Amino acid sequence: MTMTIGQATAQVRPPAARIRTQVTVPLEFPDGYRTTAEVFTFTGLADGREHLALALGDWQNAANPLVRPHSECLTGDVFGSQRCDCGPQLREAAERITEAGGFLLYLRQEGRGIGLYAKLDAYALQDTGLDTYQANLALGHAEDARDYTAAAQMLQALGVDRIQLLSNNPDKAGQLGDLAVEVTEQIRTGVHLSAANARYLEAKRDHTAHTLDLTGAA
């Protein structure tokens, strides 16, 4: 399902970043799915972190590429944690972007930007009854500390200023639009529901308006 996104009311183009390295990396996921990425690194990113852009499919000829900004999740992406939907979203994005042509932006902002240890501390608080946002606040952090300035810089360094956004999160569309990246459509990811992440997904849907239809999801 897609949503048409209006023009941002105020735009500020971030400082320019530059491509520093491009390298071909064959990828294989645990379920056997394979694709090949052109992996880009950058200099001049606003937060100084080592973010990556993975160009997939026929990205060079994609006038309006499919893009997913994916925040790093060690527990979900690497260890297959069932407490979130990050690992399945990463796997889904790799295939859908390969088919459409575009970019997977792997952003090093674990735990909605609060870091790995703090995320695990938040998990412990969630086990006492808080939801994911309440737990972050209880630890003295913002509900969501992520900033997509570096994502906009990466796209602009790659010569991309209009995209189809693969995300359920309206904040990503809003921030990118404000950073002079035109989001022509917001395309939902699938619903990756498990017994362990149902409350987490409900909080994302109800508290931050993620476009998640959990009705009948298995």
Q: Give the 3-state secondary structure of residue 195.
A: coil
In a domain, 63, yes or no: yes
Cα–Cα distance measured from residue 59 to residue 99, given in angstroms and rounded to the nearest whole number: 10
Mean of per-residue pLDDT scores for the chain? 88
Domain count, the chain: 1
Residue 128 labelled as part of a binding site: no
Cα–Cα distance measured from residue 166 to residue 91, given in angstroms and rounded to the nearest whole number: 13
Q: What is the CATH number of the domain that holds 179?
A: 3.40.50.10990
Residue 202 labelled as part of a binding site: no
Q: Which domain holds residue 169?
A: 2-109+146-208
User: What pLDDT, in 10s, does the model give residues 128-167?
Assistant: 999 888 999 999 998 888 899 999 999 999 999 999 999 9
Residue 68 labelled as part of a binding site: yes
In a domain, 58, yes or no: yes
In a domain, 115, yes or no: no
By the 10 Å C-beta count (0-12 exposed, 13-18 middle, 19+ buried), 46 is classed as middle
The residue type of 57 is: G
pLDDT number for residue 112: 87
In a domain, 125, yes or no: no
Active site residues: 144, 146
In a domain, 77, yes or no: yes
Separation in Å, CA 6 to CA 9, 169, 177, 207: 9, 15, 9, 22
In a domain, 130, yes or no: no
In a domain, 121, yes or no: no
